[in-house]
Chain A
Amino acid sequence: MSEPLLTIRNLRASVDDKEVLKGIDLSVAAGEVAAIMGPNGSGKSTLSNVLAGRDGYEVTDGEVRYDGQDLLAMEPEERAATGVFMAFQYPVEIPGVVNATFTRTALNAQRKARDESAIDAIDFLKRARATLARLEMDEDFLRRDVNAGFSGGEKKRNEIFQMAMLEPRLAILDETDSGLDIDALRIVATGVNAMRNPERALVVITHYQRLLEYVVPDSVHVLADGRIARSGDRELALELERTGYAAFQPA
């Protein structure tokens, strides 16, 4: 078997001298959908942020290989250009920056980094409109400032829109289902499923079985107290729904 797209080995990371990730081991193959579940504060967002390259986290041990590269040695924008995407648990509002401009600038910055030609405004608009239509989002989204004044659900959908436009090879979705109404959840799930393909890996962080009914995972991992405490298939998610995390809490 070839090397998995993402391999995390014994990853330890601290925030403000507090160890949050205490030796994570996880690999995700191309084509795989991996779900990560776990109690509040167990380190799920910290793991996503470390993978995306956010400042303020000190990696004290371990390594992360992505597509044969040392992911942790790369700047956030380099990670993005090689195909890493994180949908934020709390997308950031950026007043004054128009969503369309931002998304096209991002797309072209990534293309430039990969020595690909820029997408012109007209082609971009065509693609953006088609993507919005698929996600049942109003075209108005393009004209609005990035996430500014968006409802919680709209912000999450905007993340999915960006993912669909940027076509990453590794997408980490940090609680993209939280705050969505039932219809929005179905639409987002459809958007996520449309991204599934043999070249792409998806890491779906969620608290709820509901999303996983739509986006059926190949593997499920429980992150508790900074470690992967258990791994299994979709049955594990159903079991957690019944039993909760009591068994994984530190004594």
Chain B
Amino acid sequence: MTDAWLAGQRTAFAACRDTLPGSGTPWVDALRAEAFRQFEEDGPPTARIEEWRSGPTAALTGQVFAPAAPDGARAAAVPAPYLEGPRHRLVFVDGRFSRGHSDAGEPPKGVRLTTLGALLAENPQATRDLIGDPDAFSEERLSRVTDRRPQALVALNTALASDGAVLLIEDDVALAHPLEVVHVTRKTEEPRAHHLRTLIALGAGARAHVVEIHAGGSAGVWTNHVTDIAVGAGARLEHVRADAGSATAVHVNVAHARLRASAAYAGFVLAATNGAVRAETRLALEEPGADGEVNGVCLAKGTGHIDALTRLDHHAREGTSRQLWRGIFADTARGAFQGRIRVLPDASGTNAALDNRNLLLNAGARAESKPELEILTDDVACSHASATGELDTDALFYLRSRGLSEQLARALLMEAFTGAVADRIAHEGVREFIRRLVDERLHALGSATS
């Protein structure tokens, strides 16, 4: 299958490279060609690669996904805005910007809110300058920052990215209202891939809340979404990623953030599926005093598979990081959490904590938790906790003895289990939205099993 899969990607790249945004611009063409070469060299993910040992490799390479061609003719069911209250909204349908569904509002001065396609079409040379470091697109650049092991899907994304949101904020500017980015994928008969690329760069002291939501989709859809993030000195980004769509798709989601001095990145991931999800978060705390928070809720049922991976690299002194992950797995679903904290030799005074707990609702469900601490200096405080268990039968009986139905009692306990994670979201409107979405998804999980 692997050969056919690779061949499929080659055909896809050959077929669409001339239609991708920025095509014809030499530096873009060169970047894409180099990224594709890198992808071919690394090959598709297999369980032989340590980071992909528990990944959904079979779901990914079991069918040949072709990139979706632009097809404006078919109507898409675009959901109403998720966030209540003032917001900026960008909508992408099948990996391409949909102006009609978007409502960018009026971002304040010093905020550039646009799309990858628009940026490259308007003025590719300026884009290069704006991005400042075109290498930031490249796999090589990502590898240098975090990890030398192959990230073939990021390279493939660089080669094939069809569009994505771009948020660039100048120094000391705050985006007061959250940015809602919605990626809608239409149902498909043929296996289809969508390669999305989001770029977020906050200047020193800037502030923003960004919510990226995946909606729509169906079995046969693969989304490969990469979000590149740079957080300037003293800046703060809250970055929420959530599955709100079809639970049967295959979804790969990689966020990669570089944090300057005293920058803060607060990330939240909601993975909810009975298909396959791979959610990666890679933070590089590059300068002193940076703060990284990566929290997540993973909910899978049926034959769903969620593989959550975090890589937090503390490069400089006095950095702090926290990770809080909760997973609930029903039926024969499986979950894996791999969380690595690396404290490099210059990162004295680091304080890092990781806490992962999983609930199994059925005997056939499985969860694996693999925290890894790699500490290369003294004077650090690192803690990690992980546990996997079942719903507390004493608590269930206590609730039922007071009159709650078994289903309600289970739902309440599951909400309690995941609630602490959602509570950490700082923006109230975003937090409320995520709580609602988690509850909705828990409800689906509860009714599947009780």
A residues bordering B, Cβ < 8 Å? 52-55, 75-77, 79-81, 85-86, 88, 91-97, 102-103, 105-107, 109-110, 113, 145, 162, 166
Contact = CB atoms under 8 A, between A and B. Distances in A.
Interface of B: 392-395, 397-406, 408-409, 412-413, 415-417, 419-420
12 contacts: A54-B401, A55-B397, A77-B403, A92-B395, A92-B397, A93-B395, A94-B395, A95-B416, A103-B402, A105-B412, A109-B403, A145-B416
Nearest to A54: B397
Contact of B419 (A54, A96, A102): A96
A97 B408 contact: no
A214 to B, nearest CB: 25
B416 A86 contact: no
A166 B394 contact: no
Contacts of B417: 96
A77 B397 contact: no
Given A79-B401, A103-B402, 20 more contacts: A53-B400, A55-B393, A75-B406, A77-B404, A77-B406, A80-B400, A81-B403, A85-B402, A92-B397, A93-B395, A94-B399, A96-B415, A102-B399, A102-B412, A106-B399, A106-B402, A106-B403, A109-B408, A110-B402, A166-B402
B297 to A, nearest CB: 13
A-B pairs with the 5 shortest C-beta distances?
A96-B416, A80-B403, A106-B402, A110-B403, A76-B400
Nearest to A94: B395
Contacts of A92: 392, 394-395, 397-398
Given A75-B406, A77-B406, A105-B408, A97 B401 contact: no
Nearest to B412: A97
A84 B402 CA distance: 9
B189 to A, nearest CB: 43
A190 to B, nearest CB: 22
| Residue of B397, B402, B404 most packed against chain A (CB within 10 A) | B402
A97 B404 contact: no
A100 to B, nearest CB: 13
Nearest to A79: B401
Contacts of B393: 55
A107 B403 CA distance: 7
A166 B395 CA distance: 18
B416 A94 contact: yes
B434 to A, nearest CB: 16
Nearest to B423: A96
A109 B397 contact: no
A205 to B, nearest CB: 15
A106 B416 contact: no
A129 B408 CA distance: 25
B398 A91 contact: yes
Contacts of A95: 416
A53 B403 contact: no
B401 A86 contact: yes
A52 B416 CA distance: 24
B416 A162 contact: no
Between A81, A95, A103, A166, the greatest number of chain B beta carbons within 10 A of the residue's beta carbon is seen for A95
Nearest to B416: A96
Contacts of B405: 77, 109
B398 A94 contact: yes
Nearest to A107: B403
A80 B395 contact: no
Contacts of B412: 97, 102, 105
A80 B417 CA distance: 25
A167 to B, nearest CB: 12
B389 to A, nearest CB: 14
B401 A113 contact: no
A109 B404 contact: yes
Contacts of B416: 94-97, 145
B359 to A, nearest CB: 12
